[in-house]
Amino acid sequence: MKQAKAVDALPAWRDTADSNHESVCIVREWEVIEVEIDHDITKCLYGTIVSDYRGRFENGDYVFTSAIKDIDFDTGLVRTKNSLYCLQGGGEILSASLIEAYKMKKIGQSLHLVRAIENDLGQIIVPDD
């Protein structure tokens, strides 16, 4: 598995956020999660909500996005199919298994915490919906 890569996103997204209020969500404590599916790498964003102009999330909630369509660390912008995310502060690019990504989404915790829990307490069992 690849090593984690620390990234500092630049806050160059402010003008973009101001002009795209209908779709912008600002996140901090973020992780770009790379998952290999059928020999293809899919990237998703996990982060803590700072502000959601669409009103889907409250400040402090977590988000685990659909597949990332475009990511630009120079501007700190991440696009998915229906949303634009603005990265605030530092974050990481991490490789995860599909099962780890699923657990992150279901329990709302970072990859580091999912791995720490499983290392200390054993496998996390996530019930089917």
Q: Give 42-88 pLDDT, tens digit per residue.
A: 999 999 999 888 888 999 999 999 999 999 988 889 999 988 999 98
Q: Give the Å distances, CA to CA, from 82 to 5, 24, 69, 79.
A: 26, 10, 10, 8
33 beta partners: 44, 94
Structural contact between residues 107 and 22, judged by C-beta atoms closer than 8 angstroms = no
State the pTM of this model: 0.83
Provide the 3-class DSSP secondary structure of residue 10: coil
